[in-house]
Every structure is written in C-alpha cells, then in structure tokens.
Amino acid sequence: SSGINEFLGVLRNSRGRLGKKSYNNLETRLSCYNADEMWFAMMFSFGDLGFFLSIFSMIAIILYFVTSSDSGSLIIDIISANGDQEPPVLQRLFWAIMEGATATALLAAGGTDSLKALQTASVITGLPYTILLCFMCISLWRALAMECNDIDPYGPDFAAGLLDPFTELRPDLWAGILREIFLTPYTLYRVAKELDSKCTAVMVFLVSGISLFTFVILLIAEYCIEMTGLLALSLVFYLFFVCMVAANRVAVRLNKGINGNPVEDFFVCLFAYPVASVQMRETLFGKGTVQLMPSLIPEVIPEEEEEEEDERMSKV
C-alpha cells in the first residue's frame, strides 16, 4: 500500500522533475530522491515511456506479491490439511487472509523499521539454503552422471566422509579432526612423501606450515594491535594454505581413482580442511578406500554350498 501511495504521489508531480539528467543526457541523478521515489524516477528517465513503464512495473510487482502469497497460502493449507493436495478452498482463503492480516499488523505496528527487520530476517534465513542448494546441485549432477554411466556408483571413495563427524558416534574421528586443526602440515608432508618424493614433501611441509602459522599470528594481531589490513593479509595466507591442502587432496583422489574435481576439493578444504586432512590420512595410511555405494547385486552362492544348505534344512 505504501508503494502504491508513493506511486500516485509521484505521478502527481511534474514529469520534468523526475529523473533529472546530466547536460549530455547520459546520466540520471537519483540521489536527490528517497528510496521509494528512486524506482519511479528511473522509469521516467526513459522519457515518454516513463509513464507506461511505471504502470507496467507496478502491475508486475502486484502480481509477484499476489502469486507469492497465493503459493505460501497453498503450502500452509496443504500442511494443515495433513498433506492433502486438494485442500478446501475456504481453508486456503482463510490462510491467505491470515497472512495478509499478519503482514499488515506488523507494518502498522513497526512501520518501515519492521519492514527492514523482516527483510534482514529473510536474507539471514535464506543464506543457509544457498549453501544447501550448492550441495544439491552437485548431488544432482553426480546422480545424473551415475545414471549415464559416466561415474561408477560402486567405485572407490574416501574412507571418511565429510558428514561422518556429524552423523556417526566416533570419538577417534573427532579426536583426529581436532588434531588436524594444527597438524595438517605434517599430514601433507606424509602424503607428499608417499605420492612424490621426500624433497617435495619437505617443501610442502614448510610452505603449508608457514602459511598456517602466519594466518593464525596475523589473525591474533588484528585484535591485539591497532593496525588495519592484517585481517585481509591473514586471509591471503589462509587461501594459500587451502590451495596446498586442495592440491594434495587432488593427488590422493587421482592416485586412488576417486571421483571428484578440483573445484570440489578447493571448497572442501576452504570450509573444512581438518576433515579433508583426515580423509587423506585415513585413505593413504589407514583403512584405505571404501565403496561409494553399497552393492545391490545379491551374493552368488556356489551350487555345492546351496545343495549342502538344502540338505541341512531338509534334515531340520
């Protein structure tokens, strides 16, 4: 309603004042308007099309909010109807009215401040789903690749999964992750020594260790001394350390024939480098690889064992 009132107020003003242009008509000044007027000022900066674009944009915004509210009402109605895909129309109308009344009450009670709070809350709650959608896209791509036989669903995989610390009761795994927070450079040394040479392993150990140590020191100094820019510099060293971990994870994957790509390796190491370090250590020096998916092919019993089993059951 506030947008419509603002729109009507803007239309009552003179068109010459809206969207003031520079002397060469290439730029439109919007800073002299408040946030509600900027949109219409930008529409009227297109000259004679401004009136049409303003009307069209308002209709599009209204349709967007109406359809969004209708979809939300349908979902709530289906949930309240115990999953019925065709709930009663009156019940759906009830939820639509309740949603509109709740939004109106919030705006009337808090004004623009409440609207800003709702917008901030929607952004905060939507951010985790963005990360989940990224994982879902990767999962969908892998499922399609398995369906097209581009990926062997029964191929090798890391001995420790990324979500194992959160889904399994394994104190040894938790202890290993805590240890790898500080000892990842040593694990990288062992991995490089196993897959390459001792000289390369020493270089990897020194570079990764110095990068991690410098990152921690700069991060502490950022909050202990008054010097700007240390946080950004510490992140540079952390990214360099992450690249070292990711490079070694790529090497382990290629050595063991594990499916994946360097982009996934980088982001795994960026957000959970201790888990990635545990994966490399367990795969190379521990349990080795495991099967990506459990086999669905039933175990074939030899004929002799089957006959013996039949005789035993007949005697019973």
What confidence tens digit (pLDDT) does each residue in 243-276 have?
999 999 999 999 988 888 888 899 889 988 999 9
Of 242, 182, 238, 232, the residue nearest 214 (C-alpha): 238
pLDDT of res. 18: 47
pLDDT computed for residue 305 by the predictor: 57
Residue 110, token pair as written in the block: 């808090």
Question: What is the full per-residue pLDDT of the chain (316 aa) written as tens digits?
Answer: 455 555 555 554 544 444 454 444 556 666 777 767 778 778 877 777 878 888 898 899 889 888 888 888 888 888 888 888 888 888 888 888 888 888 788 778 777 677 777 778 778 888 888 878 877 888 888 888 888 888 877 788 888 888 787 777 888 888 888 999 999 999 999 999 999 889 999 999 999 999 999 999 988 888 888 777 788 889 999 999 999 999 999 999 999 888 888 888 998 899 889 999 999 998 888 888 877 766 554 444 455 555 666 666 666 5
- Do residues 73 and 92 lie in contact, with contact meaning Cβ atoms separated by under 8 Å? yes
Q: Is 265 exposed, middle or buried (0-12, 13-18, 19+ CB in 10 A)?
A: buried
d(CA 241, CA 249): 13
Q: Which of 270, 281, 210, 282 is nearest to 245 (CA)?
A: 270
Rounded to 5 degrees, what are φ and ψ at 21?
Answer: -105, 160
The reported pLDDT for the residue numbered 23 is 45
Residue 89 is predicted with a pLDDT of 84
